[in-house]
Amino acid sequence: MEPLITDTDKTVGVTGGAGFIGSHVVRLLVKKYPRYRVINIDALTYAGNLENIKDIETYPNYIFERADICSEEHIDRLFSGYQFDAIIHLAAESHVDRSIMDPLAFVKTNVLGTGVLLNACRKQWSHDMEGKRFYHVSTDEVYGSLGDTGFFTEETPYDPRSPYSASKASSDHLVMAYYHTYGLPVVMSNCSNNYGSHHFPEKLIPLMINNIINNKPLPVYGKGENIRDWLWVEDHARAIDTIFHKGKTGGKYNVGGFNEWKNIDLVHLLCRIMDQKLHRPAGESEKLITYVKDRAGHDLRYAIDATKLSRELGWKPSLQFEEGLGKTADWYLENQDWVHHVTSGQYQQYYTEQYGKR
Ligand code: NAD
Ligand code: TYD
């Protein structure tokens, strides 16, 4: 299939490029497409960290812009300055537990912020949509919660249950509204849980790895029976690259690992891997497992059917889970400074040192 977006000189804005998944996407684009000018647009919230992309910050085709996607004035200014050909939109508030504590922050960034970006594209591209693309990166959580069987397909009706998933679902609807109403050339993907390097240690896998290293309790919500479908973050970045270049305009693609795990089984597996890496006696880390109060409205099971993406665009996950977890554990063990910085706020200092106060 001919790519819809070709590797000619293009200016691609990536929002949320200092976050977990965004940093992997920016790295892939900057290295793979030297003729693209990649503009990383990120507000640097607690989850955004320029250390995540330190290795590519001196590449000539990479530019960082600190901006809040909710600021229409700032986003419009960036659009006039850079004349973007495409936006890959990842910036979001992304943690379910935080959305339960502060839902409006999620409504603001995920709904209003997405609206501001869509509107900027509409205004900028209204005279000529040829070769333009708005790619919205979303989550499988918009589909709600599965029982013991079944999978989410692209046709599964939306049924979000947390403030996070409801805000992402709203943003997905806005994206499709701009497609149908204004003909904006959009494409979207809904992915399962990611894991890998540079993951902020408030999410399950990095939190468990970090707590095992530090001999701290491993808080398992409820009975640990909830199920998630885990995907290596670099495989997600490859899927985004594929969908960005080849996905059908107005299309929607599910991305998943075909890799379902009960939380408690996953934590046991991590304990075994970490015992080996830390040269602890077998069974030592498991003693840290502590059952805690369940998350409110905790979705039981997510499972993605990603056959459309593999059938139409040829993408497949590359890594087996145990291998990916092993690599992830190694990364955290080798990058304890990174963990220390993101948990202590020192990376904010890095930003000021690197870029000055803006
Ligand atoms: P993250 O929380 O690690 O990173 C989010 C990034 O967005 C940060 O760099 C942050 O500074 C930036 N940001 C937040 N608010 C902003 C604002 N108002 N303006 C500009 N920048 C802002 O998130 P992630 O896990 O990398 O997720 C990225 C995207 O992928 C999100 O849209 C999320 O919904 C989606 N997603 C995540 C997963 C997952 O497992 N993590 C799975 C499927 C989809
Ligand atoms: P999380 O990484 O927050 O991702 P999401 O809620 O978006 O799926 O959580 C993954 C699963 O792990 C989810 O079922 C909640 C559970 N969990 C725990 O049991 N303990 C924890 O400390 C965390 C952060 C999550």
pLDDT in tens, 98-147: 999 999 999 999 999 999 999 999 999 999 999 999 999 999 999 999 99
Which atom of ligand 2 is closest in space to residue 96's alpha carbon? 6
| pLDDT tier for residue 1 given thresholds of 50, 70 and 90 | low
Which protein residue has the closest C-alpha to ligand 1 atom 42? 193
Is 219's C-beta closer than 6 angstroms to any atom of ligand 2? yes
- To test the pocket of ligand 2, the residue of 146, 220, 228 to mutate (highest count of ligand atoms within 8 Å of its CB) is 228
What's the CA-to-centroid distance between 268 and ligand 2, angstroms?
15
Say what the pLDDT of residue 347 is.
Answer: 62
Question: Is residue 207 in contact with ligand 2, taking CB distance under 6 Å?
Answer: yes
pLDDT tens per residue, range 294-320: 999 999 999 999 999 999 999 999 999
Residue 141: active-site member: yes
- Cβ of 199 less than 6 Å from ligand 2: no
The structure's pTM equals: 0.96
Q: Which of 164, 195, 302, 332 is catalytic?
A: 164
User: Domains of the chain (ranges plus CATH)?
Assistant: 10-198+231-259+298-319+351-355 (3.40.50.720)
Name which of 110, 230, 203, 228 is nearest 163 in CA terms.
110
Q: Is the dihedral of CA 137, 38, 79, 124 positive or negative?
A: negative
